[in-house]
Amino acid sequence: MDNPRHYFLWDARSFLLCSVVFSFLELSLCCPKECSCEHLLVNCTDRQLEEFPSGIPMDTRQLILTHNNLTYLPSVDLNLLIDLVYLDCSHNILGNSLEATFIAMPLVYLDLSHNNITKITSATFYLLTSLVVLKLSDNPNLEEIEKDAFANNTGLRQLDLSRTALTYLDVTTVSELPSLRTLGLSSNPWDCYCPLKDLLKWVMESDIYFTELRKREHNQIQPKSSRLVDDDIIVLGSVTSM
């Protein structure tokens, strides 16, 4: 005779399995009340959000959180989105809580422009090995990018560091990115003297397209905004006619 206890254990396990499956399906099908969802896109633009929205479908591939009041991104919630390839967090007030935010996500596009980030370390984007586009422009307090900040982002093709507070950038930070094709460096308060000489020389010799980068004759450039390299002037900051 069959043991009733075995049937009970089987029913309990089946119930638990079904609960997990239905919970997963519910998370995959629901949409945060503050956002709009269409196919694999979740759009939470300009909803005055102060916290990361809950209930984002787990199969989301594009998440747009631009023009909100987010101060941080919860790592656990974000990294549950294992299919996420596009993340736009521009125009928020994100600070320096990004150190352990991105953990082995398949992100290809990441926009963190127009925030309050002050420093990028070698660990910030280290696990984002699929990253192709990274936008960090218009972070007015971004003063430091560590030398190896993008060392593991070898697929990076577009990097925008325009309009920040950077005065110095180690040339190897960008010159050793094998896939880089577009680099934004304009309108930064560069200290264009000896510490930046290697970067300026690389800029002159590189085949990379630099957004909003201009060359001017020496007598047209304010000395503090430029540096003479091989008889040319490379302007990384704002240009002021004398």
Domains of the chain: 4-213 (3.80.10.10)
pLDDT tens digits for range 136-156: 999 999 999 999 999 999 999
Which regions of the chain does DSSP assign to beta strands (E)? 36-38, 41-43, 62-64, 86-88, 109-111, 119-120, 133-135, 144-145, 158-160, 182-184, 209-211, 214-215, 226-229, 232-235
Distance CA 90, CA 180 (A): 22
**% residues pLDDT > 90 (the chain):** 62
Instruction: Quote the pLDDT of residue 203.
Output: 82
Percent of the chain with pLDDT over 70: 74
pLDDT digits (tens, 9 = 90+) for 15-31: 444 443 444 444 446 89
* Spatial contact of 73 and 52, defined as CB atoms under 8 Å apart: yes
- Are 112 and 135 within 8 A, CB to CB? yes
Q: Which helix (H) or strand (E) holds 9?
A: helix 4-29
* 235 vs 37, higher pLDDT: 37
Q: Is pLDDT at 86 greater than 60 in this prediction? A: yes
Report d(CA 102, CA 125) in Å as an integer.
7
- pLDDT value at position 104? 80
Furthest C-alpha separation in the chain: 101
CA quadruple 111, 183, 157, 102: dihedral positive or negative? negative
Structure tokens at 161: 């560091």
Alpha-carbon dihedral of residues 163, 167, 172, 178, nearest 10 degrees?
10
Apex 81 CA angle, 79 and 83, nearest 5:
120
Which alpha helices (H) appear in 55-115, and where do they start and end?
75-79
Per-residue pLDDT, averaged over 67-93, amounts to 96
Q: Which two tokens stand for residue 14?
A: 């089946």
In contact, 167 and 190? CB cutoff 8 Å = yes
Per-residue model confidence as pLDDT tens digits over 189-239: 988 666 677 887 888 888 888 876 554 433 333 333 333 333 333 334 433
Query: What's the CA gap between 126 and 134, in Å, rounded?
Result: 13
Regarding pTM above 0.85, the answer is no
The Cα 219–Cα 217 span in angstroms is 6
pLDDT of 12 reads 42
Q: Which two tokens stand for residue 240?
A: 């002021």
